[in-house]
């Protein structure tokens, strides 16, 4: 009886984790890029859709952004893998995640959240950078099963591409972990 209860609870936890992540992630079977769909939640680390703006010069990128070349799928996968690796020191990873300097625990919380949900991300496509920001499509796997294609935001800061705060916070919040960097 205990094993059946445990399995039921685990199934509910995995279902809840998948549902929580789906607030910012598209269905895996969707053939369109989740990064190109309109997003009503336009946070500062997410690329903006300029289609409804008047024509004219683009605003300058944020002062903290540097102009960087488009990273490869492999470069972003390496960054994600190392950022989620508990064996890489958090002090190193603080420079890889946007807003981690505001809450150094964000790094550990992101690793803990991914571990708690047995979530793995694999970048499969990278869009062109715009105003020091870019989005990448990634496969999301929870518990070894493909669940969704996720849209991961990256920002150009300090001469490198950092994992966007919104993405990091969505993963952390989906595991019901609090982080000061994720407070509005």
Domain range summary for the chain, segments of one domain joined by +? 2-25+64-182
CA 46 – CA 155 distance, rounded (Å): 8
- Output the pLDDT for position 24: 40
- Output the pLDDT for position 150: 81
Tokens representing residue 138 in the block: 């990634």
Q: What is the mean pLDDT of residues 34-58?
A: 41
Q: What is the mean pLDDT of residues 28-52?
A: 43
Which CATH class name applies to 2-25+64-182? alpha beta
pLDDT in tens, 139-157: 999 888 888 788 999 999 9
pLDDT in tens, 74-102: 999 999 999 999 999 999 999 999 999 88
Q: Tokens 């591409």 identify what position?
A: 161
Q: Is the pLDDT of residue 70 over 90?
A: yes
CA 169 – CA 183 distance, rounded (Å): 9
Q: Is the pLDDT of residue 122 over 80?
A: yes
* pLDDT: which is higher, 44 or 73: 73
Q: Is the pLDDT of residue 181 over 80?
A: yes
């Amino acid at each position: 009886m205990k094993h059946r209860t445990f399995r039921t609870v685990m199934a509910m936890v995995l279902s809840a984790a998948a549902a929580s992540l789906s607030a910012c992630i598209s269905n895996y079977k969707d053939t369109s890029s989740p990064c190109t769909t309109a997003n009503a939640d336009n946070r500062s680390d997410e690329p903006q859709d300029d289609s409804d703006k008047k024509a004219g010069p683009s605003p300058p990128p944020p002062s903290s952004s540097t102009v960087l070349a488009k990273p490869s799928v492999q470069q972003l996968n390496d960054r994600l893998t190392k950022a989620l690796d508990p064996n890489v020191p958090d002090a190193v990873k603080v420079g890889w995640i946007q807003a981690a300097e505001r809450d150094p625990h964000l790094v550990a919380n992101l690793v803990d959240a991914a571990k708690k949900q047995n979530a793995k991300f694999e970048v499969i496509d990278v869009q062109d950078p715009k105003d020091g920001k870019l989005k990448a499509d990634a496969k999301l796997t929870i518990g070894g099963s493909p669940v969704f294609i996720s849209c991961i935001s990256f920002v150009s800061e300090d001469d490198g591409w950092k994992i966007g705060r919104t993405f990091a916070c969505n993963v952390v919040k989906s595991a019901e972990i609090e982080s000061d960097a994720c407070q509005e």
